Amino acid sequence: MPQPSLIAIDGPVASGKTTVGQCLASKLSYNFLDTGDLYRAVTKLVIDAKVSNNNEVAIAELCNELTLVLSDNQTTRIIAFHQDISEHLHTEIIDSNVSFIARLPKIRSALLDKQRDMAKSGKLIMAGRDIGTVILPHADLKLYIEASAKERARRRWIQYGKHEGLYKTLLTEIERRDHLDSTRPIAPLKPADDSIIIKTDDMSLKATVEYIYHMYCFQE
């Protein structure tokens, strides 16, 4: 089996697909793009410019302001209005608005070519919700990383410092976003027919990376 050049990794929120994708990309010396960050970047611009979530045309125009640039460590930086906004995309307000923005058809189509352009030179791992189904249907390897909502909430809870009462909030939020992502009419979250489904409830992310690398990417 030749080493896959374009690798699509999809999966629900907090499934670990970004961490797995980043680690795999660094092992393979491939570029990495987390497409969730693109939707987050648009959401940030919408919030900053105080554009209404319902003004789809204005939001689609904001998408034109986004540029993707590869950094030295092969991860993708997102530039808007001459500023690198990549480190400002994981805030509570973006978390709670992004699934709504990501449902808008004009936004999905405005971001399509930006994602496909990144894949033109190969040796890329792209993570998201619709990479195997819509963005890169011809990817050489398609992975769908999943874990139960309870396990994903547990991982986030540990990551956020195990605060009392937080687990339930995280679980509710994960279930809400799963629902929004998987029930939207355009490019809903689902595995492609030819995806390899990897269930990680009983596997650490490190073990998941090793498993994928040796099973599907490694060549003597």
- Closest of 166, 146, 142, 143 to residue 154, by C-alpha: 166
Using CB under 6 A, which residues numbered 117 to 156 contact ligand DC?
128-131
Using CB under 6 A, which residues numbered 165 to 184 contact ligand DC?
177, 181
**Cβ distance to ligand DC smaller for residue 146 or 181:** 181
Residues 112/187, Cβ–Cβ less than 8 Å:
no
Residues 140/4, Cβ–Cβ less than 8 Å:
yes
Residues 166/160, Cβ–Cβ less than 8 Å:
yes
Please, what is the minimum distance in Å from the beta carbon of residue 79 to ligand DC?
18
Among 4, 39, 44, 68, binds ligand DC (CB under 6 A): 39
Binding of residue 46 to ligand DC (CB under 6 A): no
- d(CA 34, CA 120) in angstroms, rounded, equals 16
Phi, psi of 122 (to 5 degrees): 70, -165
Among 6, 22, 32, 35, binds ligand DC (CB under 6 A): 35
- d(CA 158, CA 169) in angstroms, rounded, equals 13
**Cβ distance to ligand DC smaller for residue 3 or 79:** 79
Q: In the structure encoding, which two tokens stand for residue 37, read together?
A: 């960050």
Binding of residue 40 to ligand DC (CB under 6 A): yes
Please, what is the minimum distance in Å from the beta carbon of residue 150 to ligand DC?
18
Binding of residue 99 to ligand DC (CB under 6 A): yes
Helix extents (H) in 103-186: 105-118, 149-159, 166-183
Binding of residue 36 to ligand DC (CB under 6 A): yes
Positions that interact with ligand DC (CB under 6 A): 13, 35-36, 39-40, 98-99, 102, 128-131, 177, 181
